[in-house]
């Protein structure tokens, strides 16, 4: 008994630290697999000993809220769900009842309140008892109705999520690979809890309803139970009719639940919304509520976590992957295995702390699984030879490395400020399609050129002809490849100012922001590089962070020298700024969606809008002037958003007519004057 109590005393702080890091700091100090295993071990020990230690994560519903957002207590505690990984347990739990089996979405739980048909409040789950009020941010979610037909009081719960496709798009817009978000959940949490709702609006946050808490008629005469025939499914149908997106679900009985779970398991491989399992809820509302709750779990629902498919293999070696920030991550390379339908041979170990905890060594027998059936992870090391040595030299530049500890996480860094790895990502961005657009310069090729000492800054790219003899002898190169590269560089040297600015890699300055900066300063680069903070924040899309990043970049003598040297190699196209008469869309923002008929692609339409002084944005917000969509009557999320905000939806024909009318208006003004 004493040994069990001692083990519990080890587990409680260990799990608490891991949960705090995950929920409050958006970082991982142990894998989901390890956390679940240790949690289950603690739960079993509590059952065996009959003892529950103070602060046990099996009793704590959530974690304290840390932010500057207003706080508000929930009317009733928002509890966690009990969980299982067994389909047999699900079947037994359901018994003779009918249930709804739905996705367990991996985002941030939100409570919405509507009164008299209008959204009046949105609060995060927080610690289960006190949440953060994020009403302004919820109003700019991609798919939340701001007004509904129901005129009484409505309270519902759902999950705020960011789709994988949007997550990848947002990460691609961040030039620094090490500044990118690790997963959609972390991005969603940061987006929903912003103090500036404009940033939230840019993140394509979606809301999926999963529970109706209360729907009381305007006269307060009846509650929802009498309105929905005592059925959770009827609630879902009603919520859909009010304009809400509801979490996907299937109606199940003990006869078909196994098949339903299998169907979800197959679908998760391509499901665009992050999910970490399933939820089973009794359809019979009264029956479920009659079961009551434990201190932590309601008894009307249960979570199903995917039973991880685990395979044994042998660790071949640890590959040390250096990055632009100097961080060197350990990556496990192992004998290929089939896992969840694909062949895998690599898994990130994340940091030194995790590698040391696994006691890895070459040749060790390890077990591997896919977290949420997607991301390969090491589950355990069965051999634990602990022979892997942390390198004292950077694998890229040979410079000295050092281990730095932040909180309880130890990570490896290269200390050489001139490490080639720190330059590779910068050069990769500089030659990318939206920057200088140099064909034939992949990241691997750039790495070879940097390692050989051919390029030290951007201008050196235009002098690679000095190294012709060495380059044509390189593996994968020949005279034809070299000639093609020279032609590509010659073409790239004729470019425009927005491409150059984007290619410099100034933190947060994407191509769209670069274009706005150029238009604001009428393509006067000297004025741009000496711009004041006040001048910068006046520009639509440039806030405090981007303005400071811009000023900091050009405050550096080294950066200014690098830019001057680069500009000497380039021929910058002269931009024809629209005259006041031509800038008929000045101050107007357009969002383009759907297929086009009159224009070859969206870029062509976007260029026309910008040529007429307007701005093309990616998402509908309160600042949008018009949404262009040939299917003006569709129920797409952007159409819904536009209608809610009272934004006109134009077909291409409508857009061209507007352009003509505004142009004629300008002509008439000039004639009258």
Tens digits of residue pLDDT in 292-329 = 888 778 899 999 987 677 889 999 999 888 776 678 88
pLDDT digits (tens, 9 = 90+) for 87-135: 999 999 999 999 999 999 999 999 999 998 889 999 999 888 888 999 9
Res. 333: pLDDT tops 60: yes
Q: Check if the beta carbon of residue 318 is closer than 8 Å to that of residue 329.
A: no
Kindly indicate the confidence band of residue 363, based on its pLDDT and cuts at 50, 70 and 90: very high
Res. 247: pLDDT tops 90: yes
More confident residue, 408 or 590: 590
More confident residue, 172 or 532: 532
pLDDT of residue 673: 45
Q: Name which of 201, 170, 174 is nearest 510 in CA terms.
A: 174
**344-358, 439-453, 487-501 — which is least confidently predicted?**
439-453
pLDDT digits (tens, 9 = 90+) for 137-150: 898 898 888 888 88
Active site amino acids: 104
Cα end-to-end distance, the chain, whole Å: 95
pLDDT of residue 293: 84
Q: What is the DSSP string of 128-154?
A: SSEEEB-HHHHTTSSS--SB-S--SEE
pLDDT of residue 288: 92
Kindly indicate the confidence band of residue 631, based on its pLDDT and cuts at 50, 70 and 90: confident
Q: What is the DSSP string of 356-415?
A: HHHT--TT-EEEEEEETTTEEEEEEESS----PPPPSB-TTT--BEEEEEETTEEEEEE-
> Which span out of 67-71, 364-368, 640-644 was modeled with the highest average pLDDT?
364-368
pLDDT digits (tens, 9 = 90+) for 596-612: 888 877 878 888 888 78
Q: Check if the beta carbon of residue 619 is closer than 8 Å to that of residue 201.
A: yes
Kindly indicate the confidence band of residue 449, based on its pLDDT and cuts at 50, 70 and 90: confident
Four-point Cα dihedral 258, 260, 263, 267, nearest 10: -130
pLDDT of residue 577: 64
Res. 180: pLDDT tops 80: no
Neighbours of 203 (CB within 10 A): 23
CA distances from 46 to 9, 42, 57 (A): 11, 6, 11
The tokens for 144 are 């939340």
Q: What is the DSSP string of 10-76?
A: HHHHHHHHHHHHHHHHS--SS-HHHHHHHHHHHHHHHHHH----TT-TTT-------SSS-EEE-SS
CA distance 451 to 456: 10
| 527: enclosing H helix or E strand | helix 525-529
pLDDT of residue 235: 94
Q: What are phi and psi of 312, to 5 degrees?
A: -95, 145
Kindly indicate the confidence band of residue 671, based on its pLDDT and cuts at 50, 70 and 90: very low
pLDDT of residue 225: 47
Q: What are phi and psi of 152, to 5 degrees?
A: -90, -155
Mean of the pLDDT values across residues 365-388?
86
Q: Given 3-state DSSP classes, what are the helix, strand and coil percentages for the chain, each rounded to the nearest 5?
A: 40, 20, 40
Kindly indicate the confidence band of residue 151, based on its pLDDT and cuts at 50, 70 and 90: confident
Looking up tokens 């299998």 gives 262
pLDDT of residue 158: 96
Q: What is the 3-state secondary structure (H, E, C) of 267-336?
A: HCCCCCCCEEEEEEEECEHHHHHHCCECCCCECCEEEECCCCCCEEEEEEEEEEEECCCCEEEEEEEEEE
Neighbours of 544 (CB within 10 A): 11
pLDDT of residue 65: 47
pLDDT of residue 639: 86
* HSE-up of residue 467 (Cα within 13 Å, Cβ side): 18
pLDDT of residue 389: 92
More confident residue, 5 or 228: 228
CA distance 271 to 102: 13
CA distance 159 to 144: 11
pLDDT of residue 419: 81
pLDDT of residue 295: 72
pLDDT of residue 392: 94
Alpha helices for 193-295 (secondary structure H) = 197-201, 224-227, 232-241, 257-267, 285-290
pLDDT of residue 666: 54
Q: Please give the share of the chain, as a percent, with pLDDT higher than 90.
A: 34
Res. 616: pLDDT tops 90: no
Rounded to the nearest integer, the mean pLDDT of the chain is 84
Strand partners, 317: 333
Q: Which residues contact 195 (CB under 8 A, 6 or more apart)?
A: 68, 69
pLDDT digits (tens, 9 = 90+) for 54-92: 667 876 555 444 446 888 888 888 888 888 888 999 999
pLDDT of residue 49: 79
| Cα R_g (the chain), whole angstroms | 29
């Amino acid at each position: 008994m004493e040994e069990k109590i001692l083990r519990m005393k080890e587990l409680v702080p260990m799990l608490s630290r891991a949960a705090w890091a995950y929920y409050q700091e958006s970082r991982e100090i142990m894998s989901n697999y390890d956390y679940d295993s240790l949690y289950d071990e603690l739960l079993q020990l509590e059952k065996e000993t009959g003892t529950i230690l103070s602060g046990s994560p099996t009793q704590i519903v959530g974690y304290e809220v840390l932010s500057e957002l207003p706080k508000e207590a929930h009317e009733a505690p928002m509890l966690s769900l009990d969980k299982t990984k067994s389909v047999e347990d699900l079947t037994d739990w359901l018994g003779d009842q009918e249930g709804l089996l739905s996705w367990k979405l991996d985002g941030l739980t939100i409570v919405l309140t509507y009164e008299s048909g209008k959204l009046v409040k949105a609060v995060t789950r927080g610690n289960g008892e006190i949440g953060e009020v994020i009403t302004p941010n919820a109003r700019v979610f991609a798919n939340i109705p701001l007004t509904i037909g129901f005129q009484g009081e409505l309270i519902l719960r759902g999950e705020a999520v960011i789709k994988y496709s949007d997550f990848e798009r947002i990460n691609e817009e961040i030039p620094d690979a090490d500044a990118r978000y690790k997963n959609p959940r972390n991005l969603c949490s940061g987006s929903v809890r912003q103090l500036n709702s404009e940033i939230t609006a840019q993140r394509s946050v979606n809301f999926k309803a999963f529970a109706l808490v209360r729907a009381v008629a305007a006269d307060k005469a009846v509650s929802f139970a009498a309105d929905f025939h005592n059925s959770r499914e009827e609630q879902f149908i009603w919520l859909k009719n009010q304009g809400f997106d509801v979490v996907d679900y299937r109606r199940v009985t003990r006869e078909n639940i196994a098949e339903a779970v299998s169907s979800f398991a197959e679908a998760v491989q391509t499901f665009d919304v992050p999910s970490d399992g399933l939820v089973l809820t009794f359809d019979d509302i009264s029956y479920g509520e009659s079961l009551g709750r434990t201190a932590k779990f309601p008894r009307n629902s249960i979570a199903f976590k995917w039973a991880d498919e685990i395979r044994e293999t042998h660790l071949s070696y640890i590959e040390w992957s250096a990055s632009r920030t100097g961080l060197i991550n350990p990556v496990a390379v192992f004998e290929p295995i089939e896992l969840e339908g694909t062949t895998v041979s690599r898994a990130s170990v994340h940091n030194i702390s995790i590698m040391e905890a696994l006691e890895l060594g070459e040749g060790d027998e390890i077990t591997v699984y896919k977290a949420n059936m997607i991301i390969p992870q090491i589950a355990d090391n069965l051999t634990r030879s602990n022979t892997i040595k942390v390198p004292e030299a950077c694998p890229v530049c040979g410079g000295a490395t050092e281990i730095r500890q932040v909180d309880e996480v130890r990570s490896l860094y290269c200390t050489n400020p001139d490490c080639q790895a720190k330059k590779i990502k910068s050069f990769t961005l500089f030659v990318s399609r939206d920057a200088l657009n140099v064909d034939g310069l992949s990241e691997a090729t750039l790495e070879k050129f940097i390692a050989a000492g051919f390029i030290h800054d951007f201008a050196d790219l235009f002098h690679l002809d000095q190294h012709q003899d060495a380059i044509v002898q390189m593996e994968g190169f020949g005279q034809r490849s070299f000639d093609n590269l020279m032609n590509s560089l010659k073409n790239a040297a004729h470019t425009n100012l927005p491409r150059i600015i984007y290619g410099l890699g100034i933190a947060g300055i994407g191509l769209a922001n670069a274009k706005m900066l150029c238009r604001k300063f009428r393509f006067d680069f000297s004025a741009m590089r000496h711009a004041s903070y006040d001048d910068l924040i006046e520009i639509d899309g440039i806030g405090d962070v981007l303005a400071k990043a811009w000023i900091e970049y050009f405050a550096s003598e080294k950066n200014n020298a690098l830019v001057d040297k680069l500009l000497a190699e380039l021929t910058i196209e002269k931009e024809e700024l629209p005259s006041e008469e031509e800038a008929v869309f000045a101050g107007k923002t357009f969002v383009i969606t759907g297929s086009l008929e009159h224009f070859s692609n969206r870029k062509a339409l976007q260029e026309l809008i910008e040529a007429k002084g307007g701005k093309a944005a990616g998402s509908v917000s309160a600042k949008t002037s018009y949404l262009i969509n040939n299917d003006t009557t569709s129920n797409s999320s952007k159409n819904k958003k536009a209608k809610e905000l009272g934004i006109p939806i134009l077909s291409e024909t409508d857009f061209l007519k507007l352009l003509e009318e505004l142009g004629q208006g300008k002509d008439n003004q000039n004639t009258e004057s």
